[in-house]
Structure formats: structure tokens, C-alpha cells
């Protein structure tokens, strides 16, 4: 690799770090800084990498304004059997960023131009600042409630071996300048009025609603876990027994891509209008709708190139702390490694992701289709009976994700074919598989 508009190499950590980070924060694509690689791209490595990593985090957090939490990651990588440090920097949405001690001036504001870092002119600074002043940021919106508690958030941090100290409200940017809570604090608090709705329909349209649940009114972290758990149940795994007697398993939707899409929708949703994300499940697809569209200055091409510009950097920081989000930009990579760009739809105010169920396993009316109807359902029932010969009708239906009517029909077919026989009564007996 060579240095470019998005890549900067440094053989050692030097006093220009803040300058380079500011330039990438102000650049619409963000970028990456590698410490331990020289200008020619040769790996020289870093000694005491853990200590250097901590120094980098401390300098970026304390020497740059506006606040950068949630806009960068500092990770260790191995190259040519040597340790290097990679700093991943997102494009910020509170531009212009600047070095604190130099102020919002050409001496403190920088931007990436090609493979070099250049100071911003006074005119550029004024124009960019005028755009920032028009943005509505959650950290600047007062919480609707004055008294908030955060016991749920503390539990999740403790589960990760982290501790929220007495200054966590300041460290996580949960306070307004006057000391009152902001809207980020409200979303992360134990009690709020925000919820994520999951609606389930019988067919391919919204005519027949069969389930409508809301997950929320609690910390957004807890609500996120509840939504993920619910969708793991809905995202069934179907088993196909091939002619060679091998098992082929596939989920209705790729589980990793679905999880990343849900978390992205929650983290990047615009909550300033009290419009939370919506998830809808139809018989042939699942859709995720988040409010806010694309962040100003952020394009579809940026999104599909896995360039990040977090709408809610404070939420991104917390989700990153709790391992719900990994390295910046990694979520879109995971989605686009399985699905193409056609699953995304954009309107001025919304982004909609549509996952169509695997048609090899699911037909448009939601039933197991064609060949699988005749063969695979029976094989799945046989597999369940091998594990539990005493299974009742409702237990077989639940474990195979089939209707009781379908299970009854398949049991009769298996019995007529001499593959199973009933031993004892319907109430206390069991099924014996004939060899």
C-alpha cells in the first residue's frame, strides 16, 4: 500500500498526530493512520505498542475539539511479524474540527488534500462552521426528563469488565453545558418513552397484522439486545436433507448481516423527531426502516464504500464500548459481503433495508415449498423423533417451525409408508422409527 487521500503512514508516534487526525475528521471520507510503517510503506513496527496505543487515545480525546469520542478506533495489527497501530478515523459531522490549543483557525484546522494534510483557510472554516450551526445534534437537545438513572447501562458495562466511574456522565457526553441531561442520556437511561417496534404480517402486505410488539421504554442498549434476541428467534434455520443424505442448513436471512443492519439502524437513527427504527416481518421478507436518511454531506457511494460518518457519535461510543459495534465501517463490510446494494432504498427522510428470505427454503406464501414440502418436512420430523420419540404434536410443530396441520399430515404419510409406528396410546405412547 502507498499513502493516499485516506491513508497516512508514520514510522513513529510524533507531535503531528493531532494535525493528521483533525485533517481526516474534516475530510468527507475520513481515513486511516498507521503508526509503525514508514513513508515508503515498509513495516518498521512499534515497541511497547500497548503503551503507545493508550497515549494515542488520550491525545485524540483531550487535544481535539469538538469531542471525538465515537469517531475513531485505535487497534493493533500484525504485519510482517511486527506490531503496528492502525487509527481508523470517521468523518465527523461537527466540522470543523481543530487542535484545542490552537483554536478554530488556520493554525488549528486542517483537511486532507490528496495524500497530504493542508491548513484550512479562514473562509473554509467560516463556511463549514455555518453548516454545522444548522445541524440538530442529540448532545445539544435537552432530555425530556430531568431525573434519570443508569443502572441498566452500568450492568452492561460491568459485564464487559468495564466500570462507569463517578464522571461517566461527562466522559460519555451525557450533559448539556448547563449540567442538565441531554437527549443521549435520555435514550441510555433506565426509563424513557422510546421503543423499537417489530410488526409481523401474515402475507406480503400490511393487510393481516398477526403480531405487533414494542421493545423499549428502557435503556437503548437493553432494547437493542431484546430486538436482537427476538430476530434470532424469527430468523429460523431450515434443514434440507439431500439425496446423498447430507444435511444442508440455511437461515432465512444471513444472521451476521441481519444483526449488523439492525444495530446500524439503531445507532444511526435520527431520534430528534421521536421517530425510532421500525422492523417489519412479512411472509417473504424483513424490512428495517430508520429515520433521518443519509447524514448531510454523506452519500450512497460513501456508504457502499464502507466510509463512516456517525450521526450519533455518543451512541456509537457506547455501542463500541459494549462490543455491539466493532471497528468503524466493519458493519457495512459484513452486510455487503453477503448482499448487494439493491437491498438498500433511500428517501429524503428514511433508509430502508429489505432482506428477502432464502427462496430455496421459503416460498412467497411463507410455507416450505415444492420439493421440500414432500421430502424435507418428513426428514425434519424424523430427526426430531430420533431425539425425542415421545414428542407431542405441538412440540413437533414448535421444534420444526411447521404448522400442527402440516405435522399431522406428514406423520400420516410416514406411518403409511412404514417409516414410523405408534407404540401405545396417543396420550402416553411414543413413536418408533422403523429401520
| pLDDT of amino acid 375 | 56
User: Mean pLDDT over residues 375-403, rounded?
Assistant: 79
| pLDDT of amino acid 240 | 62
Give SS3 for 228.
helix
Let me know: does 44 contact 83? Beta carbons within 8 Å: no
Q: Which of 208-217, 268-277, 424-433 has the lowest mean pLDDT?
A: 424-433
Q: How confident is the model at residue 376 (pLDDT cuts 50, 70, 90)?
A: low
Higher pLDDT, 321 or 328: 321
Strands (E), 60-208: 64-65, 72-79, 82-89, 98-99, 110-113, 116-119, 195-201
Of the chain, the percentage scoring pLDDT greater than 90 comes to 59
User: Mean pLDDT over residues 237-263, rounded?
Assistant: 79
Q: Which residues pair with 281 in a beta bridge?
A: 200, 286
How many CA atoms are closer than 13 Å to the CA of 3, on its beta-carbon side? 20
Let me know: does 49 contact 60? Beta carbons within 8 Å: no
Largest CA distance in the chain: 89
Q: How confident is the model at residue 151 (pLDDT cuts 50, 70, 90)?
A: very high
pLDDT tens figures, 255-265:
999 999 999 99
Domains of the chain in sequence order = 7-135 (3.30.950.30), 140-188 (no CATH), 195-287+294-341 (3.30.565.60), 370-433 (1.10.10.10)
CA angle in degrees (0–180, nearest 5) for 94-292-170: 45
Of the chain, the percentage scoring pLDDT greater than 70 comes to 92
| pLDDT of amino acid 134 | 67
| pLDDT of amino acid 74 | 94
Strands (E), 372-433: 420-423, 430-433
Let me know: does 188 contact 221? Beta carbons within 8 Å: yes
Q: Cα 122 to chain center, whole Å?
A: 38
| pLDDT of amino acid 394 | 82
- pLDDT of 368 > 60? The answer is no
Q: How confident is the model at residue 363 (pLDDT cuts 50, 70, 90)?
A: very low
Q: How confident is the model at residue 324 (pLDDT cuts 50, 70, 90)?
A: very high
- pLDDT of 87 > 50? The answer is yes
What is the spatial distance between Cα 124 and Cα 184, in angstroms, rounded to a whole number? Answer: 30
| pLDDT of amino acid 184 | 96
Length of the chain: 435
Q: How confident is the model at residue 366 (pLDDT cuts 50, 70, 90)?
A: very low
User: Mean pLDDT over residues 125-131, rounded?
Assistant: 89
Closest of 114, 129, 112, 101 to residue 25, by C-alpha: 112
User: Inter-axis angle of helices 220-234 and 255-268, to 10 degrees?
Assistant: 150
| pLDDT of amino acid 365 | 40
User: Mean pLDDT over residues 139-147, rounded?
Assistant: 92
> 315: which residues sit within 8 A by CB, 6+ positions away?
70, 138, 184, 187, 188, 220, 267
Grid cell digits, residue 351: 433508509
- pLDDT of 220 > 90? The answer is yes
- pLDDT of 91 > 80? The answer is yes
Let me know: does 70 contact 313? Beta carbons within 8 Å: yes
What is the spatial distance between Cα 15 and Cα 28, in angstroms, rounded to a whole number? Answer: 24
Grid cell digits, residue 98: 481543530
Cut 0.75: pTM above it: no
Higher pLDDT, 186 or 292: 186
Give SS3 for 5.
coil
- pLDDT of 167 > 60? The answer is yes
Closest of 20, 4, 198, 187 to residue 99, by C-alpha: 20
Amino acid at each position: 500500500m502507498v499513502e493516499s487521500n485516506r491513508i497516512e503512514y508514520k514510522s513513529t508516534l510524533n507531535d503531528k498526530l493531532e494535525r493528521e487526525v483533525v485533517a481526516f475528521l474534516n475530510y468527507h471520507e475520513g481515513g486511516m493512520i498507521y503508526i509503525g510503517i514508514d513513508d515508503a510503506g515498509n513495516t518498521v513496527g512499534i515497541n511497547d505498542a500497548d503503551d503507545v496505543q493508550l497515549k494515542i487515545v488520550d491525545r485524540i480525546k483531550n487535544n481535539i475539539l469538538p469531542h471525538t469520542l465515537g469517531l475513531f478506533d485505535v487497534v493493533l495489527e500484525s504485519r510482517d511479524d511486527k506490531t503496528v497501530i492502525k487509527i481508523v478515523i470517521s468523518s465527523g459531522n461537527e466540522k470543523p474540527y481543530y487542535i484545542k490549543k490552537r483554536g478554530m483557525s488556520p493554525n488549528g484546522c486542517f483537511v486532507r488534500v490528496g495524500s497530504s494534510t493542508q491548513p484550512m483557510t479562514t473562509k473554509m472554516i467560516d463556511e463549514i462552521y455555518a453548516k454545522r450551526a444548522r445541524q440538530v445534534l442529540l448532545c445539544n437537545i435537552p432530555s425530556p426528563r430531568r431525573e434519570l438513572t443508569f443502572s441498566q447501562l452500568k450492568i452492561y458495562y460491568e459485564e464487559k469488565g468495564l466500570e462507569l466511574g463517578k464522571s461517566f456522565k461527562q466522559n460519555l457526553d451525557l450533559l448539556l453545558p448547563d449540567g442538565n441531561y441531554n437527549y443521549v442520556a435520555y435514550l441510555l437511561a433506565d426509563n424513557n418513552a422510546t421503543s423499537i417496534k417489530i410488526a409481523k404480517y401474515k402475507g406480503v402486505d400490511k393487510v393481516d397484522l398477526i403480531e405487533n410488539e414494542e421493545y423499549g421504554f428502557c435503556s437503548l442498549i437493553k432494547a437493542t439486545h431484546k430486538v436482537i434476541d427476538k430476530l434470532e428467534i424469527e430468523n429460523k434455520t431450515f434443514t434440507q436433507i439431500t439425496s446423498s443424505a447430507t444435511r444442508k442448513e440455511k437461515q432465512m436471512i444471513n444472521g451476521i448481516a441481519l444483526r449488523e443492519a439492525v444495530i446500524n439502524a439503531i445507532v444511526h437513527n435520527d431520534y430528534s423527531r421521536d421517530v425510532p427504527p421500525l422492523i417489519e416481518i412479512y411472509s417473504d421478507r424483513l424490512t428495517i426502516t430508520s429515520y433521518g436518511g443519509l447524514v448531510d454531506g454523506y452519500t450512497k457511494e460513501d456508504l457502499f464504500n464502507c466510509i463512516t460518518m456517525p450521526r450519533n457519535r455518543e451512541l456509537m461510543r457506547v455501542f463500541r464500548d459494549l462490543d455491539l459495534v466493532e471497528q468503524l465501517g466493519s458493519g457495512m463490510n459484513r452486510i455487503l459481503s453477503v448482499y448487494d446494494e439493491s437491498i438498500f432504498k433511500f428517501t429524503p427522510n428514511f433508509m430502508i433495508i429489505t432482506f428477502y428470505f432464502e427462496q430455496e427454503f421459503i416460498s412467497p406464501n411463507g410455507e416450505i415449498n415444492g420439493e421440500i414440502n414432500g421430502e424435507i418436512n418428513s426428514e425434519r420430523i424424523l430427526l426430531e423423533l430420533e431425539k425425542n420419540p415421545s414428542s407431542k404434536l405441538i412440540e413437533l410443530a414448535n421444534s420444526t417451525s411447521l404448522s400442527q396441520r402440516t405435522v399431522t399430515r406428514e406423520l400420516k404419510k410416514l406411518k403409511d409408508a412404514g417409516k414410523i409406528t405408534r407404540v401405545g396410546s396417543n396420550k402416553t405412547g411414543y413413536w418408533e422409527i422403523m429401520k
